[in-house]
Chain A
Amino acid sequence: MTAKEVAEWDSLGHIRLMVAIEQALGIKFTTSEISNLANVGELVTVIDKKL
């Protein structure tokens, strides 16, 4: 699933989600990861690597 497929998705929602994941899982995304994540699958892969 990509951002375009979610009706209410925007860059602000994206950042809020990143911050929520960081705080909930105690991980930190890089600048590059935050900007280049293309879909939910990639997000899961990045989180898996950090846990």
Chain B
Amino acid sequence: MTITSWSFIAFLTISALVFNIMPGRWRAHFVFPATTLAFIFLVMPSAAAAFIVLGFVGLLWISTRIIYMWPARSIQVAVLSIVLLVFGWMKAYEFLAFLPFAGFVPATIGLSYMLIRSMQLLVDLADTPSLRPGFLQVFSFMTSWPCLISGPIQRFQDFRDQLFSMEAFTLNDDVLFTAMQRMIKGYFFVLVLADATKHMWLGLQEISLANPYPIALAGAQVAFLVHLFFDFSGYMHIVIGAGYLFGLRLPENFDHPWQSKSFLEFWGRWHMTMSNWFKAYVFNAVLMVLVKRWPNAKLTDFHGVAAFFLTFFLVGLWHGTTWAFVLCGLLLGIGASTNQIYRNLMRRRLGKKRFEALTERKWYSLIAAALTFTYICFSVTSLWLSFDQIQSVVVNYSLSGLIAAESVLLLILLLSLPAVQWWPRALALPALRWRAALIAGFQCAIIDAYVFLFPAIGGAFFYEQF
């Protein structure tokens, strides 16, 4: 089952009906966990994979018990290390290939997101033992079906509050309307816009790999990022809308990423729940260690650059299991730390207020945005090319060909970004119900026409593989 299949629509309809018909007290303790269990077996590629996911939940449950019963720092570190190692082994990371039975575990979906949720719960539990979750809470949180495949990443504390409020939830007209509006928008993004851009990206990718053709390579890079945006943000609209039917208010994951004027701003607008998680549990933690170890205020800039590099290196590594993602992590780390060095230099030279005033100027923001997206397109190349393909591109294009491709990409962005950034501002009309209904109807009509014209659409979400 995929989120774009009729079987998912059937699953959602039946689950939402049962959930809302059942007495409130049964919802959090029985109906929602039952729908999640059913979802796991429907969505995983095999029954074995479903049991693997349940096994990982079991490991986390045992880990929470150990941390609660033995709150010593050494025990906490040991438990977190074991969970990380088991995750690395289950995901079959190439650099953990030396472990016994590496690659033995069947492929699953959503394990990286489960790891992030488990780390958040274990770290917060170590800090706050009163958090002490019950088994059903751990199970529902770890496998909550709207978040299972690709997020959004919700904190345990926020999820538990919503679990408690399920009893009093009432599905009224307004909630149903908002849910449908979000889901239709999501399906429009995924089935039409993501699919159309996927065809463009794959076509340009084929051309760019067959011969050294910088324009095709630049086009493939930008088409991939646009496809990823519609695919991933569309998925978010669908699950956030579906969550409404169960009283869940999932956190938003996108905030107009195309308006970004710097690499660091981009990551504050794209996959925001992941960025917030890495900021809270990696960046801040690394920075605290550095500041405590070397408290000299003159080293503050160095601390920031080092913390940004390590954090974004891990962001890249988290996205995949192959050496290509190590490369992706290095490129993301270089991008983040370079951005921080530039910010430090400019703030020192101009002061924070004058630097911010400069970033508001149109010419500056356009050039900064175009450079930002050129680098982002370049740094995520390993999400769509294997390590061997990247090597072959480097050899075939040589340095001059690659510079030409990135220059074309920069030019494309300089020409297209003003329109892309203006579009949402132009469409920011008052949220009237009739207008929303009209737009949703229009989107349904386009989906229908697109499916009729191009029936072989669909496929897995890009982020499912993580």
Instruction: For B297, give its contact among A8, A16, A32, A34 (CB under 8 Å).
Output: A16
Instruction: For B291, give its contact among A19, A31, A35 (CB under 8 Å).
Output: A19
Main secondary structure of the interface of A (DSSP, over half): helix
Q: Are B300 and A16 in contact (CB under 8 A)?
A: yes
Residue of B nearest to A30 (CB): B127
Contact with B along A4-23 (1 / 0, CB 8 A): 00011001100110110001
Contact with A along B277-302 (1 / 0, CB 8 A): 00111011101100110010100100
In angstroms, how far is the closest chain B Cβ from the Cβ of A2?
16
Docked complex Cα distance between A15 and B283 (Å): 10
Take A8-B352, A12-B300, A16-B297 as given contacts and tell me if A34 and B284 are in contact as well, using a CB distance cutoff of 8 Å. Answer: yes
Q: Are A31 and B292 in contact (CB under 8 A)?
A: no
How many residues from B make CB contacts under 8 Å with A? 24
How many residues from A make CB contacts under 8 Å with B? 14
Q: Are B352 and A32 in contact (CB under 8 A)?
A: no
Docked complex Cα distance between A19 and B284 (Å): 11
Q: Which residues of A contact B127 (CB under 8 A)?
A: 30-32
Q: Are B128 and A30 in contact (CB under 8 A)?
A: yes
Instruction: For B284, give its contact among A7, A8, A23, A35 (CB under 8 Å).
Output: A35
Using a CB-CB cutoff of 8 Å, which residues 145-161 of chain B contact chain A?
Answer: 155, 157
Is residue B390 within 8 Å, beta carbon to beta carbon, of the partner chain?
A: no
Q: Are B281 and A31 in contact (CB under 8 A)?
A: yes
Residue of B nearest to A9 (CB): B352
Docked complex Cα distance between A12 and B292 (Å): 13
Q: Are A32 and B280 in contact (CB under 8 A)?
A: yes
Q: Which residues of B contact A19 (CB under 8 A)?
A: 288, 291-292, 295
Q: Which residues of B contact A18 (CB under 8 A)?
A: 288
Take A19-B291, A32-B280, A35-B279 as given contacts and tell me if A7 and B352 are in contact as well, using a CB distance cutoff of 8 Å. Answer: yes
Is residue B444 within 8 Å, beta carbon to beta carbon, of the partner chain?
A: no
Known: A18-B288, A30-B124, A35-B280. 15 other contacts (CB 8 A): A11-B283, A11-B287, A11-B304, A12-B287, A12-B304, A15-B287, A15-B291, A19-B288, A19-B295, A30-B128, A31-B127, A31-B284, A32-B157, A32-B280, A34-B280
Q: Which residues of B are in contact with A by a Cβ distance under 8 Å? A: 123-124, 127-128, 155, 157, 276, 279-281, 283-285, 287-288, 291-292, 295, 297, 300, 303-304, 352-353
Q: Which residues of A are in contact with B by a Cβ distance under 8 Å? A: 7-8, 11-12, 15-16, 18-19, 23, 30-32, 34-35
The 8 residue pairs across chains A and B that have the minimum distance between CB atoms: A30-B127, A35-B280, A15-B287, A12-B304, A19-B291, A34-B284, A32-B124, A12-B300
